[in-house]
Every structure is written in structure tokens, then in C-alpha cells.
Homo-oligomer: A and B are copies of this chain.
Amino acid sequence: MRKSISLKEIAQIAGVSHSTVSRALNNSLLISREMAEQIHKIAAERGYRPNRNARSLVTQRSMAVGCVVTNIADPFIGEVMRGVEEIASQEDYSIILTHSGGNPDREMKAVRSLCERTVDGVIVVASRVGGAYVPYLLERQVPIVLVNNQHPSDFVHSVTIANYEAARAVILHLGELGHKHIAYIGDQFGGQSNAERHAGYRAALKEMGIRYAPKLVVSGESTPASGEHAMSKLLTLPTPPTAIFCYDDITALGAYRTLQRFGLRIPHDISIAGFDGLFFAEFLQPSLTTVEQPMHEMGELAMKLLLELLSTSRKDASPIKTQIIVHGKLVVRDSTASPRPKSLKAEHPSS
């Protein structure tokens, strides 16, 4: 890259010291109005752009935040990142994007790279691997904000969806429709989110006086393929469930496909509910009942929280752990309905 014009060169043109130019361009009050104007004019003419690397070297603030994500093509993560970016660019912060690919080694490498870039803070979105980076960053006093973190740890700030509550709402909804056999397809790598959704599922069953059946809980891994497989497994049960709560919409995609293959109709034969509220959910056939996460807002909140951490003095702020809890919204669509009465179900009077 060609060296673009520097402070020094502007100083030469203006016939002043580069300190003066720096002050003028940073709108220091210590500069005469005319001088400031003249310098601004020259800078504009030459298309001067301050070198942020040089600046952060002396200010010890890079105005950059690092984001580590499992997979930027994941729709949930993409929406969160959009929110993060929104606030960041508003505040003149840059985003350095790194992938962990769900691999702990790569995640650690990404974090180290962010440190070399001297990011002011780090946001980790839905990491599915362990939090080895947490002590690393803590030691370097780089503030961290986790979004839907799967591996809770103390002294770390976070934005999280109320999983328990939302899962409970889904199950109560299914219960109200009359379902008694409700299955849960979890995510074996879902960590805390999965544990909480499962707990909410279980609690709601209990509230409704439905006995918890371990056989109705199978685990996927947040892919359509795993959803297909889990669904098949549930269908082979002696008494298959009449409703399925899926860990997320992606898993539900797989469940849909299996049901189609088996010639079962949603919601006529089986009800399905998802989680996340990804954009395609309402376009599925039938449209998917799900819990909408305020993904964009979660990203915004995470970035705002980080900004706040960066603005407060480090000493007194560090022991406080901020946990922002956002609430999902149950959106009932066409994939959930009352189960068919037993009598009608027995089309072949074999009993």
C-alpha cells in the first residue's frame, strides 16, 4: 500500500510543526481558529487519513474489538454480528472477525491473534467449545462479552437468552394443545443453552403433571442431518411422541424432512416447534412455531456492554459481572396443533 500523506507532510505544507497539525486535526482547543481552518483545508485537499496503528500505539487504545465466532455463515451468528457491527461503526470502532470453526485450538489461536492486534475488547458469539481464552484475556485485562455462551465462567460479562423460560413456554403451549407425549431433540454440543432448554422442558412437563420420559429426549447437534436422525429414532419408539421441541430451527429442518419421508403430516400427525426464529422459519411448509431470539438486539447489547466496560476505569469495574438476560418470544405458527384424538387415529381397527 502506498504511503498516504502524513501529519509531517501537512505540517511542511502549512509551515508549522506536526504537533500543531495533530492538535488542529484532533480539534484541540489550544489552536487558533485560523490555523485550525487552514490545516483542515490542507488535510481535506490531500485526502489525509490518520494512521490508526500509529495512533493506537501511543494512545494504547486501538478502537478495535475482536469477535470470535464459530461460523460466520450461521444465520444466528450473522444476525448477532450485524447488531454488533451496527453499534461498533456508530462509535467508530472497527471489528476484527475471527473464526474458531468450533475448534478449541483454532479458537485460542484466533484470540492470540486478536491480542497481537491489540483489540480493546472481545466478543465471543455462541462459542461451542471450551473457554480456554477466558483466563488468557482476563490476564491481559481485555474485557470479554459472551453472547449465548455455552460455558459459563465467573468474571465474564454476557448477553444471554432466557432459555429455561422460553423452553418452558414452548412446552406449556404444546401441553395446552393437548399433547402428553412431548419429545425434546437437544444439541449435544449445546452446553449451557441445551442444559437450560432441557431443564425448561422438564419443568414444564412437571407443572402439567406429565411424567418425564428419558426416552423422549434424544440429542442432535444443531444440523439438519442430526435432526433427521433424531426424528427417525423418535418414530421407532413404541409410543412415538405427538409433539417435538427442537433445540433450534436448524434441527427442526431435519425433523421436517424425516416426517415428510415417513409420510407424516405436520401438524396433523405430529407438532414441531423450533428455537431461534431464523428468517426461513416462517416460510417452511407448514410455517414453524418457534421462539424468536432478538438476535440483532443481542449483538447491539453485547457491543454496548463492551463499550461501557471500555469507558469505565478498569480497577473498580472488573469485579462486577454484568449478565444481560433477554427474553425470547414464542411465535405460534402452523407447525403446532392439537394431537389427533386416539379414536380417529386408529384408522385400521386392529385393536
Contact = CB atoms under 8 A, between A and B. Distances in A.
Number of copies: 2
B94 A95 contact: no
Interface in A48-69: 49-54, 56-57, 60-62, 64, 67
A106 B253 CA distance: 36
Contact of A1 (B74, B82, B96, B118): B118
Given A96-B94, A253-B280, A257-B283, A52 B4 contact: no
A119 to B, nearest CB: 8
B72 A120 contact: no
A167 B274 CA distance: 35
A302 to B, nearest CB: 15
Given A4-B115, A115-B4, A141-B2, A62 B72 contact: no
A311 interface: no
A313 interface: no
Contacts of A256: 283, 285
Nearest to A101: B86
Contacts of A62: 1, 53
Nearest to A52: B116
A78 B72 contact: yes
Nearest to A94: B96
Contacts of A109: 89
Contact of A75 (B78, B85, B142, B253): B78
Nearest to A254: B283
B284 A117 contact: no
A97 B112 contact: no
B72 A115 contact: no
Contacts of A257: 283
A112 B78 contact: no
Nearest to A86: B99
A97 B118 contact: no
Contact of A98 (B72, B94, B118, B253): B94
Contacts of A253: 280, 283
A342 interface: no
A110 B85 CA distance: 11
Interface string A90-111: 0010111111000000100110
A98 B85 contact: yes
Contacts of A284: 283-285
Interface of A: 1-4, 47, 49-54, 56-57, 60-62, 64, 67, 71-75, 78-79, 81-82, 85-86, 89, 92, 94-99, 106, 109-110, 112-113, 115-120, 139-142, 224, 253, 256-257, 260, 279-280, 283-285
13 contacts: A1-B120, A2-B140, A49-B116, A52-B118, A54-B57, A72-B72, A73-B75, A75-B75, A89-B106, A94-B117, A96-B96, A260-B285, A284-B284
